[in-house]
Amino acid sequence: MSEKGDKAAPEGGQQVEEELLYDYENLLERAWERIPQEVVASSERFEVPQVDVLYEGKSTILRNFVDIVQRINRMDHLEQIYKFLLKELGTAGVIDGRRLVMNSVIPEEKIGEKIKDYVETYVLCSECGRPDTRLEKEGRVLMLVCTACGARRPVRVKKGRTTQEEKGVIKVGDIMEVTVQSVGRQGDGMVRMGKYLMFIPGCGRGEKVKVKVESVKGNIIIARPVE
């Protein structure tokens, strides 16, 4: 029997099939890896609802206020959004049915901008870009929890306008309250926060601790408990 004869045998055929299958899986995996994450997220990017504004004398009426709140899944925070908008726009106003009536003339673009700010800060998941999130208190820290991908991040209220890169970024010196989710091989407490993995030496699973960030290297954070 020659080598060539063996290849024609059933076992040989099966092997070729397995190789093909392996190649196919490999190909899929590589193709998936090559798609930048932004593209995956943007293919179903959430559009912030457009404002529908009407001016009546000296008042500005946001006609679709309640509709916008519904679209961003925040009916449980209607009051908070109402206060946020009035404060940010520096005006007084009342909710009238589904409308928000403000007692001064405010440019439509400015209202749209503030709603976009709210959505980016309090609604959109910074990992997958979806609005399927809820707000949760973790100690004194308000967390944005994504029901689509499971990511958690602390809500960072903007002081003025910030760039895309600054959002959801954790820096050395930041103080936050966290709940230790697991314990690593070295015995350090670990907390997963969006793209970050935080290590807290000397903390056990389930422990709620206030920590100060000591170092940030890529996605790895070392933090220590503080009083």
Q: Which stretches of the chain bind Zn ion, using CB under 5 A?
A: 125, 127-128, 146, 148-149, 151
Closest CB to Zn ion among 90 and 150?
A: 150
User: Left if phi > 0, otherwise alpha if psi is -120 to 50, otherwise beta: which for 61?
Assistant: beta
Task: Select 41 or 223, whichever has its Cβ closest to Zn ion.
Answer: 41
Minimum Å gap between C-beta 132 and Zn ion is: 7
Q: In the complex with Zn ion, which residue's Cβ is closer, 60 or 126?
A: 126
Residue 161 beta carbon to Zn ion: minimum distance, rounded to whole angstroms: 23
* Phi–psi pair at 20, nearest 5 degrees: -60, -45
Closer to Zn ion at the Cβ: 37 or 182? 37
Sheet holding 208-217, edge to edge: 175-179, 208-217, 220-225, 196-200, 189-193, 182-183
**Cβ proximity to Zn ion, 64 vs 126, nearer residue:** 126
Q: What's the min distance (Å) between Cβ of 196 and Zn ion?
A: 14
- Residue ranges in 35-162 assigned as alpha helix (H): 37-42, 65-71, 78-89, 108-122
CB of 4: closest distance to Zn ion in angstroms? 55
Beta strands per DSSP E along the chain: 53-56, 59-62, 93-96, 99-102, 133-138, 141-146, 152-154, 175-179, 182-183, 189-193, 196-200, 208-217, 220-225
CB of 148 to Zn ion, least distance (A): 5
